[in-house]
Structure 1
Amino acid sequence: MSAQTPAEVLHARALEARLPKPTPPQSRDSFELSEVRQQRLQKLLPKTWLKLKQRETVHILVLAGQREMEIWSEDGKAGAMQTFPALFARELTNQFFYTGGVRETGKDASLDVLAPGISVRVLSGQDQALVDAPSILGSVATQSPVDLVLICHGLAEAEAGVSPPAFVRQMEQAVEAAHAMKAEVFAVAPWLPASEPLEGSLGRARPLGDALREQAEDEGWMFADLGDLAAVMGMPPSDARDDAQRFDRLSGAWRSFFHEDKGGRFMPRVALHQRLGSVLFQMMLDGIAAPSVNFENTAAVWKDNGAGLELRCTVVNGTKEEQRLTVLPLIASGWKPSEAQPEVVLAAGAKKALVIQYARGKEEVTLEESVVRLPLLVISGSRAAVMTQRAPVQPVAVVWNPDTLFNQDKKFMVGGQIMSTGTEDVSGSWEAEFLGSKLSGRFQLKPGAAQPLDLGFDLPVDGELVRRSNLTLKVKLPGLDLTSTRPIVVARNVGLKQAVTLTPSTESAGRVVFLAQADKSRLTLVCDVNGPEMLLPTVDGRPAWQMEVNLDARSYGKRLESGSTAPVRVTGSATPGKGTVLPVAAWAFGTGYGAVFDPKVFHASLVSGADGQNQIQLVIPRSYLYLHEWALDNGNSQFGLNVRLTLNTSKGYQTWSLVPLRQQANGFGAQAVLELTEKPTARATVIVD
């Protein structure tokens, strides 16, 4: 899709002007809160509520994804204080009559003495995903006072394929880290993207938002959903006659809040952030408004031996008026709608059963919970909402445990289970295969029961040090054969001076070999680049090479616990000489680190040989890895490690990896193991990707 023309921009502004304005949560003639609102704040944010009602300075820390904080303005000057967290804080200052207003943390601390206000500090960037939140809260977040941590993530996680259970676990760890620093938490699901195709982008992050809402309700967290389309935007009047026209009308209305650049990228305008700030404030006071329609008796039934799903649900009109609905299924969770009945007319209080067919998308669909979360776009008059259905997958669900297994010796066991999700007893058999080894068994389950699977395999003893292969599980029931596949990466523990061939992301005639060296004062990581036209100069000033290293340098016991790292990035030209070490995050070497790392203390270089071979080196000082026991010649003195090398080749930029994975690179489970010995053990890391 091309960038907007001036005429289209004017049309978008005119359309936005026609949209209904958001209703303030209460009249600004009074700064008093109702008893219900006071009780809600007292229950969910007791310490913050006490400070607000006593008009004491409140310190808000914002942890948000880079995309969640994007903002576009015509003058190009919009910054953090024009984004929705700061505008939410402004609503708080108005409600509680803070004369000091909203200010950015650290800009002028003396103002706190003159007049109470609300300070906002935003920590957002390329390497600050939700998985990094505990590391951030334990390091740079401690540099200033924190009363309330506002956490908004999900867009990048949805793109990376993070499952709803994994996303919720990451949020739980973030909440635990915030509580450890005596702060309260406001968990926020992200706004809806507007990229092409809209039927794919609108629903992409909704399963994560729905799982977060479910967990927040269970745990008693303060929660807001910026993906609640009905709360953010009303629909302009229209005489659209069918579902296609109604969807086009919604598309135009929603995209009027975004600026489309020449590359087809949609950036949120200031107007959207203004609405998001108001919605955040209103949901803090009142929670999420009840929808005018609801769904019940929701289930998803396997079709075509797992190649399709049939969503069955009943839509209920909870109002006293007739409703004409357009119900459009969206692409999400690896499923693409193939057949639906979009037009629904419901009398007051009436119900109607719906059946929607889905086909499996291009990527493999696997489950880490017994339900599939399928978003539906529901349009009724001036109201549109994306409502996510939590549908048990029937009659059985194959649920995987994706935990990374470290230091496996001879055998490993991947966790999984078969769950009976229907209303009748089920029985059948299963077969699993990995690298030619086969397992099998039978199951007989009552409704709601589950049977763990004994998926234990021998580690491969020959071949490559890092191997990626599929584990295939076939489940057979009368009339139904299901096949579920998970990529498994087996990475042998690597020793010092042991050469490992890196895996290219695309086909390449060249070769990159990695090895590590260590002594009492430094760790040296080396990549030898072999092959013609593997490292070419660039003509636009961009780097000819980039080396990214994720190094978990926590102590042995801590390294096996959850946590994250941030990549150390080094770049350089095709000319031999020193490389450039980019700024290094305080938690780069694992959760618990919190130092200031000077890039000048690292050493990076490119060395070229007479035979055309190139060698790229990165030297990390031992003093910066201060939490590691550093026991040389000991196989139990280990680092978590992944290395990615990107080169400007004759085919353009290509990347080679020590551990080729689809999952988030910063997670502690996305790494192989480096042992500080030249005689490594035969153990291995097993990663369920």
Structure 2
Amino acid sequence: MRLFAALLVSLLLFSIFASDVSADYPLTLDQRKRFDQYLPRCFAKLEARDPVHVIGLGDSLMGGYVPIDSSDGEKGNPLYSFSGHFLSQLAREFFYPGGVRLLNPARGLSSKLTDLYGDEITYEDLTIIDGTALDGLRRATTDAFLHEPDLVMVQFGTYDAFQRISIDVFKRSLQEIIDAAKQNKSDIVLFSPGLIHSGQGEIPWGIGRPYAVAAREVAQANGVLFIDIGKHMARKGGGVDPDNHPEAAMEIVGDRIARSFYFGPKMDEKELVHPNFDVQRFLGEVAFQELKDGPPDPLFTVAGIATYENAGLVKAVMSLRNQTNETQQGSVGALAVGGSFLPVDGFQRFSIPANATTQLVFRYARPVVGKTRDGADLLFPIEPGDDFCRLSYFIENSYESRLLDLPVRVGPVTALWKSRQFINVGDRIRIEWDLVNGTDKAISGTFQVGMADRVGEPTNFSVSPLGTKSVFSLFEFKNPAGDVAQFQQDVWIQIDVDGKKIRFTREMEATKDLVLGEQMSMQPWVSYGNASPVGDSRAQIRPPGKAAVRFDADESALYVVAGLKDFDIPDLGDKASLKARLFVDARPMNEVRNFGVVEPIEVYTRGQDGPGTTPSVPLGCFGNGYNMILDPRGITSVLTTGSDGSRLLEIRVPRSYLHRHEWELGSLDSLLGVRLELTVADSRPDAPEPFPSENRFETSSPTFAHEGAAIYGFGVNDARSLSTLRLSRQPVKSWSVQIY
């Protein structure tokens, strides 16, 4: 009897599932065309109900992180994220009764959201906490395709925005992930970052939108499906009574969207990134609907132009078109463009007849973030290597809210830095720019360049309408102090068109190339913190002591020997007192020191003399393509004390771990990229950070810093940010140079 009852319950559940599916199936002809266009490999398997394997490459939003435990779902389980619900809808549509199975779930997490048996879609979670597109590229070149996925879901941008990674680095990383997926014949769905409840300006939602728009551009260029979950989240703002002032209307819209991050009264801090479980389900369902039917019909479309004005202002003129057959009226609010463009008059009211267009004007300020080394105001830099400024706006029409994006070139001319990384620099350095015309008219003017105290004469130029003019300058490269191995200087190009001057300033860092056995002084973090334009108050706290490092190598290993003089390394018992992070780019000669991604080896020691520990060796640690699992015990380290009281940290990395490198000892052309960071622990028991940055020494720093973060520079794991080590003992006078 019990067996009969169990079978009856199973049949009832099966019939319920089948009836749900039948409501959506079969697909229409247009829907079939979309599946065949965007998921050709999966579509054939789905129709045959063959096994389908999916991987998720993204950050914690895709990975299902939520700030607190809840009865509505499981913390850190991607099945409860928008990606898991998206796949559940896919399984339901194509009648996979077993639903979605998460492979190798973390301890305590469910592998399925249903108890039903039958065909399943398998989901492999390769997301990275706080991950950027560079982290995704590392997975794409190591373990992402080991199990031959049919579908790769990609979603980055949130932490690229927080880390201020430049858009050109973000786009290039996404492009190489897509290239890897296509090479492995996997289908791809590219998701935008969600809305982030953080940022500057009176509508604090704009920090991630430039990355969302850039991701869409990459998807369109490659013909892959792009789903903008940020735009779907914006629909949660709803409409506002037309009697409200536009600023009040935008505040109401923002407050409603903010409810997406509400987890109940137990939350101590405001959540900024991860929506609650209900919103995750909503996003997964609407994303799947967009896969089937395409994006919702637009109520409005936008076009526009933007121009630099004096005093760091930028003017944007938006042409807002009503795409409906009814008069539309409501409010528009401008979002900040990261930290570079902050709306000054960001709220407008509109009324547009059916199928008509109106113009709205918005102004943005480029905030002053410090002083250049010659005393001039330094405006928050714009993107160094991308020709678009990506503006975004909330809009509501009394009934619903939407999100509009307006990518524009800023006129009259924007200077893009074509050259941002240089190796083997001698007594000259050639820096190149593209002068991009942001208008539909020919532009003529002059440009002038400068590096530290070396300033060129104004030079005439002209650019065709919406065209590009390549220019360069050959600077004398000289060490300002004569004997230092590392220094920073300002580099700039100034455009003068019809009396309007726009200066584009970056920071240059130069590091002398090292050879085996050569000692290099390490700089305290505050050397970067105190250098203009940084204003971090912690930078006034200078750690005692000095640090230096030398690298050596033989046939069996790479050796790193760091000397610490007058260092007070606290004795914290069994707790770590010293942390070292060693970055090594050990790719082959045709790849090393070029674009790529590395991960640091972390070494911890106690305050007393003795061996250190290396917790793990991440996949791809030594650059793209390092896909072997390496035993961290093979990396040995020891902390000792000399007769003069100085401390010595020695780290040994086996040659076998660097197996992709040619390892031509004695050759000046055999290169590694390297960077070492040493951080002393905070001895206070209630220290907010166990290893604070003000206690750090480093060989170089990939940062053009403001408020403790880089400004559109290289990410810390971008291989181009490292210095050069030559596997020879012959002295050299060459330098590695980065422009941040």
TM superposition score normalised by structure 2: 0.83
Partner SS state of residue 623, structure 2: coil
Q: How far apart, CA to CA, are the structure 1 residues paired with 2:78 and 2:21? A: 27
> 4+ residue runs of structure 1 moved beyond 4 angstroms?
106-109, 196-201, 236-240, 649-652
For the structure 1 residues 589 and 198, does the alpha-carbon distance in structure 2 shift closer, same or farther, using more than 3 Å as the test? same
Partner SS state of residue 562, structure 1: coil
Instruction: Calculate the aligned-residue CA RMSD, in Å.
Output: 2.6
Specify the alignment match of 1:63 in structure 2. Answer: 57
| Partners of 1:231 and 1:279 within 8 A in 2 | no
Instruction: Please say which of residues 196-205 and 141-150 is displaced more in the overlay.
Output: 196-205
For the structure 1 residues 602 and 369, does the alpha-carbon distance in structure 2 shift closer, same or farther, using more than 3 Å as the test? closer
Instruction: Please say which of residues 227-236 and 459-468 is displaced more in the overlay.
Output: 227-236
Q: How far apart, CA to CA, are the structure 2 residues paired with 1:463 and 1:342? A: 57
Specify the alignment match of 1:12 in structure 2. Answer: none
| Partners of 1:635 and 1:680 within 8 A in 2 | no
Specify the alignment match of 2:393 in structure 1. Answer: 376
Residue 193 of structure 1, aligned match among 182, 191, 196: 196
| Partners of 1:501 and 1:512 within 8 A in 2 | yes
1:396 pairs with 2:413: yes
| Partners of 2:233 and 2:257 within 8 A in 1 | no
For the structure 1 residues 68 and 401, does the alpha-carbon distance in structure 2 shift closer, same or farther, using more than 3 Å as the test? farther
Instruction: Please say which of residues 394-403 and 54-63 is displaced more in the overlay.
Output: 394-403
1:341 deviation in Å? 4.4
User: Letter of the aligned partner of 2:468 in structure 1?
Assistant: A
Specify the alignment match of 1:96 in structure 2. Answer: 94
Q: How far apart, CA to CA, are the structure 2 residues paired with 1:565 and 1:47? A: 32
* Structure with the largest fraction of strand: 1
1:245 deviation in Å? 3.1
Specify the alignment match of 1:152 in structure 2. Answer: 155
1:154 deviation in Å? 0.4
Residue 675 of structure 1, aligned match among 705, 712, 726: 726
Q: How far apart, CA to CA, are the structure 2 residues paired with 1:421 and 1:503? A: 41
Q: How far apart, CA to CA, are the structure 2 residues paired with 1:626 and 1:186? A: 34
User: Letter of the aligned partner of 1:602 in structure 2?
Assistant: I
Specify the alignment match of 2:623 in structure 1. Answer: 590
For the structure 1 residues 341 and 548, does the alpha-carbon distance in structure 2 shift closer, same or farther, using more than 3 Å as the test? same
Specify the alignment match of 2:324 in structure 1. Answer: 319
1:367 deviation in Å? 4.2
1:284 pairs with 2:316: no
Partner SS state of residue 561, structure 2: strand
Instruction: Please say which of residues 649-658 and 518-527 is displaced more in the overlay.
Output: 649-658
> Per-residue displacement from partner, 1:20-79 (whole Å, max 9, x unpaired)?
xxxxxx986131111111111212221111111221111111100235532244258332
Partner SS state of residue 433, structure 1: strand
Specify the alignment match of 1:77 in structure 2. Answer: 74
Q: How far apart, CA to CA, are the structure 1 residues paired with 2:555 and 2:301? A: 65
Specify the alignment match of 1:531 in structure 2. Answer: 566
Partner SS state of residue 173, structure 2: helix
Residue 566 of structure 1, aligned match among 581, 599, 602: 599
Report the identity percentage.
21
| Partners of 2:227 and 2:287 within 8 A in 1 | yes
Specify the alignment match of 2:460 in structure 1. Answer: 442
Q: How far apart, CA to CA, are the structure 2 residues paired with 1:680 and 1:400? A: 31
User: How many residues were matched structurally?
Assistant: 657
User: Letter of the aligned partner of 2:291 in structure 1?
Assistant: M
| Partners of 1:67 and 1:156 within 8 A in 2 | no
Q: How far apart, CA to CA, are the structure 2 residues paired with 1:525 and 1:617? A: 6
| Partners of 2:327 and 2:351 within 8 A in 1 | yes
For the structure 1 residues 677 and 262, does the alpha-carbon distance in structure 2 shift closer, same or farther, using more than 3 Å as the test? farther
For the structure 1 residues 444 and 247, does the alpha-carbon distance in structure 2 shift closer, same or farther, using more than 3 Å as the test? closer
Residue 512 of structure 1, aligned match among 547, 569, 588: 547
Partner SS state of residue 416, structure 1: strand
| Partners of 2:639 and 2:649 within 8 A in 1 | yes
Query: How do 1:221-300 residues align onto structure 2 when only pairs under 5 Å count?
Result: 221-229=224-232, 233=236, 235=238, 241-259=244-262, 261-266=267-272, 267-296=274-303, 298-300=304-306
Q: How far apart, CA to CA, are the structure 1 residues paired with 2:656 and 2:723? A: 23
Q: How far apart, CA to CA, are the structure 1 residues paired with 2:414 and 2:242? A: 44
1:313 deviation in Å? 1.3
Q: How far apart, CA to CA, are the structure 1 residues paired with 2:70 and 2:349? A: 39
| Partners of 2:334 and 2:347 within 8 A in 1 | no
1:51 pairs with 2:36: no
> Per-residue displacement from partner, 1:294-320 (whole Å, max 9, x unpaired)?
212x11111115x11001111112212
User: Letter of the aligned partner of 1:646 in structure 2?
Assistant: T
1:647 deviation in Å? 1.7
1:222 deviation in Å? 1.1
Q: How far apart, CA to CA, are the structure 2 residues paired with 1:554 and 1:656? A: 26
Query: How do 1:492-641 residues align onto structure 2 when only pairs under 5 Å count?
Result: 492-506=512-526, 507=539, 508=542, 509-531=544-566, 533=568, 535-537=569-571, 543-609=576-642, 611-641=644-674
Q: How far apart, CA to CA, are the structure 2 residues paired with 1:558 and 1:406? A: 13
For the structure 1 residues 312 and 197, does the alpha-carbon distance in structure 2 shift closer, same or farther, using more than 3 Å as the test? closer
Specify the alignment match of 2:121 in structure 1. Answer: 118
Partner SS state of residue 275, structure 1: helix
| Partners of 2:203 and 2:254 within 8 A in 1 | no
Q: How far apart, CA to CA, are the structure 2 residues paired with 1:248 and 1:312? A: 23
1:125 deviation in Å? 2.2
User: Letter of the aligned partner of 2:423 in structure 1?
Assistant: F
Q: How far apart, CA to CA, are the structure 2 residues paired with 1:518 and 1:164? A: 37
Residue 346 of structure 1, aligned match among 346, 352, 357: 352
Residue 459 of structure 1, aligned match among 445, 463, 477: 477
1:237 deviation in Å? 7.2
Q: How far apart, CA to CA, are the structure 1 residues paired with 2:201 and 2:666? A: 56
| Partners of 2:130 and 2:159 within 8 A in 1 | no
Instruction: Please say which of residues 208-217 and 26-35 is displaced more in the overlay.
Output: 26-35
Partner SS state of residue 202, structure 1: coil
For the structure 1 residues 101 and 265, does the alpha-carbon distance in structure 2 shift closer, same or farther, using more than 3 Å as the test? closer
Q: How far apart, CA to CA, are the structure 1 residues paired with 2:138 and 2:575? A: 31
Q: How far apart, CA to CA, are the structure 1 residues paired with 2:515 and 2:101? A: 51
For the structure 1 residues 213 and 569, does the alpha-carbon distance in structure 2 shift closer, same or farther, using more than 3 Å as the test? same
> Per-residue displacement from partner, 1:227-266 (whole Å, max 9, x unpaired)?
1146763627768722343233223322222247435443
For the structure 1 residues 53 and 316, does the alpha-carbon distance in structure 2 shift closer, same or farther, using more than 3 Å as the test? same
1:521 deviation in Å? 1.1
| Partners of 1:230 and 1:384 within 8 A in 2 | no
Q: How far apart, CA to CA, are the structure 2 residues paired with 1:230 and 1:135? A: 29
For the structure 1 residues 222 and 319, does the alpha-carbon distance in structure 2 shift closer, same or farther, using more than 3 Å as the test? same
> Per-residue displacement from partner, 1:435-479 (whole Å, max 9, x unpaired)?
322334211233233221112223325342222211011121222
Q: How far apart, CA to CA, are the structure 1 residues paired with 2:201 and 2:438? A: 32
Q: How far apart, CA to CA, are the structure 1 residues paired with 2:730 and 2:243? A: 72
1:161 pairs with 2:173: no
For the structure 1 residues 425 and 558, does the alpha-carbon distance in structure 2 shift closer, same or farther, using more than 3 Å as the test? closer
Q: How far apart, CA to CA, are the structure 2 residues paired with 1:346 and 1:612? A: 77
1:210 deviation in Å? 0.8
User: Letter of the aligned partner of 2:699 in structure 1?
Assistant: L
> Per-residue displacement from partner, 1:314-342 (whole Å, max 9, x unpaired)?
11122122222211111114111112442
Instruction: Please say which of residues 250-259 and 466-475 is displaced more in the overlay.
Output: 250-259
| Structure 2 gap ranges (5+) | 1-19, 106-110, 370-379, 527-538, 685-690, 704-713
Instruction: Please say which of residues 266-275 and 513-522 is displaced more in the overlay.
Output: 266-275
| Structure 1 gap ranges (5+) | 1-25
> Per-residue displacement from partner, 1:128-180 (whole Å, max 9, x unpaired)?
53123343223222432311111100011112222333322211111111122
Residue 307 of structure 2, aligned match among 301, 310, 313: 301
Q: How far apart, CA to CA, are the structure 2 residues paired with 1:319 and 1:523? A: 67
For the structure 1 residues 386 and 617, does the alpha-carbon distance in structure 2 shift closer, same or farther, using more than 3 Å as the test? farther
Specify the alignment match of 1:7 in structure 2. Answer: none
